[in-house]
Structure 1
Amino acid sequence: MGPQRFREVVGFHYEDFTVGEVIEHRPGRTVTEMDNVLMSMLSMNDAPLHIDHAYCESTPWGRPLVSSLVTLSIVGGMTARSTSGRTLANLGWGNIRLPHPVFVGDTLYSETEILGKRPSRSRPGEGIVSCRTTGTTAKGDVVIVFERSFLVPCRDRPGAEPAGRKGSE
């Protein structure tokens, strides 16, 4: 933009995604009890498995499990800055798997592999990207895997640049 002046870039245009590339999303995020209780209540998931310590003492885990909706929200949210920074619409989520439980105090990390991309047939100047995101704990346990597709603008599409002041003023 000018000498010693840079604009932070959020997200990618369609052309910037490369099939097979992997994006590591940072920073990680430590799950708190407040995250679990608040999101469980917001999503109306009041199952005792997530919010009742006394009940959970008799489960195989011996303590509450973090709701899978919380895990999906945190890990999915970690990807937003890069994969969804310019996204026009999420088109679908699929193949959501939860191979390992998450507990309060676990720190989560995520990475996204770009699986495919193609120009939109119905929306000129836009493209569809598909990806697979994997969430892990700091110990390396895979806690969630999901696939997603989303619509992003091509670089030359009018309005493809994010809003904000123009130029280096």
Structure 2
Amino acid sequence: MTDKRLKTGWQGRYYEDFEVGDVYKHPYGRTVTETDNVWFTNVTMNVNPMHFNEAYAAETEFGERLVDGTFVIALAVGMSVVDVSMNATANLGYDDIRHHAPVFHGDTLFAESEVLSKRESESRDHVGMVTTELRTYNQDDDLVLSLERTPMVLKRSYAEPSAAQPPGWPEGVGTQPEDCE
């Protein structure tokens, strides 16, 4: 006999879990580093010297390099996945993207999502569409980014999550219920 127990962890929200007006403050702020900015700028071939040329940026109104805005978008969306789209089958759109304030190396960003609307799919019984407003703030509570995003999210009855097979795990991998009996 063993004292081992297989416990269910966080498996994300399903379509039924979303209610208009709910706000999810996503866990874990993230400090943006110079490496993040330079790497992302180079990988995406963004040739605006504002992101990678210190001498150039020093002569601008900001006096220093700005973090690439598309990095800020990617980071904010990534931060929201745990609460909004962990069980999405597709992202249908990103709308009304606004950069409200600049982001600099060393800023720590925090994100939250508010559910604006939801509707069942007309062509797919197993999903529904959820539209959220994603808002991102820096450590000084300055709103730096907002956008609307609409993922297509699984309904719980079609996902059938379990402790033995959480989302993303193939059947039979790792500890199984019979290992705990």
TM-score range, shorter chain: over 0.9
Q: How many Å apart are 1:42 and its aligned residue?
A: 1.0
Task: Give the TM-score normalised by structure 2.
Answer: 0.87
Task: Give the TM-score normalised by structure 1.
Answer: 0.93
| Contact 1:29/1:109 (8 A) holds in 2 | yes
Give the Cα–Cα distance (whole angstroms) in 2 for the partners of residues 89 and 155 of structure 1: 16
Stretch of structure 1 that moved more, 100-109 or 71-80: 71-80
Secondary structure at 1:27's aligned position in 2?
Answer: coil
After the TM superposition, list the runs of 4 or more consecutive aligned residues in structure 1 that deviate by more than 4 angstroms: 2-5
Q: Which segments of 5 or more consecutive residues in structure 1 lack a partner in the other structure?
A: none
Aligned residues: 167
Question: In the alignment, which residue of structure 1 is the partner of 2:79?
Answer: 78
Secondary structure at 2:109's aligned position in 1?
Answer: strand
Q: Which segments of 5 or more consecutive residues in structure 2 lack a partner in the other structure?
A: 162-166
Question: In the alignment, which residue of structure 2 is the partner of 1:152?
Answer: 153
Q: How many Å apart are 1:5 and its aligned residue?
A: 4.2
Which aligned pairs between 1:106-117 and structure 2 lie closer than 5 A?
Answer: 106-117=107-118
Give the Cα–Cα distance (whole angstroms) in 2 for the partners of residues 73 and 149 of structure 1: 15
Q: How many Å apart are 1:168 and its aligned residue?
A: 3.0
Give the Cα–Cα distance (whole angstroms) in 1 for the partners of residues 157 and 11 of structure 2: 17
The question of 1:168 aligning with 2:177 is answered yes
Q: How many Å apart are 1:4 and its aligned residue?
A: 5.4
| Contact 1:93/1:148 (8 A) holds in 2 | yes
Deviations 1:87-130 (A, max 9, x none): 10000000000010000000000000000101000101211100
| Contact 1:10/1:82 (8 A) holds in 2 | no
Give the Cα–Cα distance (whole angstroms) in 2 for the partners of residues 13 and 135 of structure 1: 23
Question: In the alignment, which residue of structure 1 is the partner of 2:66?
Answer: 65
CA RMSD, aligned part only? 1.7
Secondary structure at 2:8's aligned position in 1?
Answer: coil
Larger Rg belongs to: 2
Give the Cα–Cα distance (whole angstroms) in 1 for the partners of residues 153 and 177 of structure 2: 26
Give the Cα–Cα distance (whole angstroms) in 1 for the partners of residues 99 and 160 of structure 2: 35
Give the Cα–Cα distance (whole angstroms) in 1 for the partners of residues 118 and 177 of structure 2: 33
Secondary structure at 1:156's aligned position in 2?
Answer: helix
Give the Cα–Cα distance (whole angstroms) in 2 for the partners of residues 32 and 10 of structure 1: 30
Give the Cα–Cα distance (whole angstroms) in 2 for the partners of residues 83 and 40 of structure 1: 27
Question: In the alignment, which residue of structure 2 is the partner of 1:40?
Answer: 41
Give the Cα–Cα distance (whole angstroms) in 1 for the partners of residues 87 and 4 of structure 2: 26
Change (3 A) 1:77 1:163: closer
Q: How many Å apart are 1:30 and its aligned residue?
A: 0.1
Give the Cα–Cα distance (whole angstroms) in 1 for the partners of residues 35 and 93 of structure 2: 29
Secondary structure at 2:29's aligned position in 1?
Answer: strand
Question: In the alignment, which residue of structure 2 is the partner of 1:53?
Answer: 54
Question: In the alignment, which residue of structure 2 is the partner of 1:99?
Answer: 100
Change (3 A) 1:163 1:26: closer
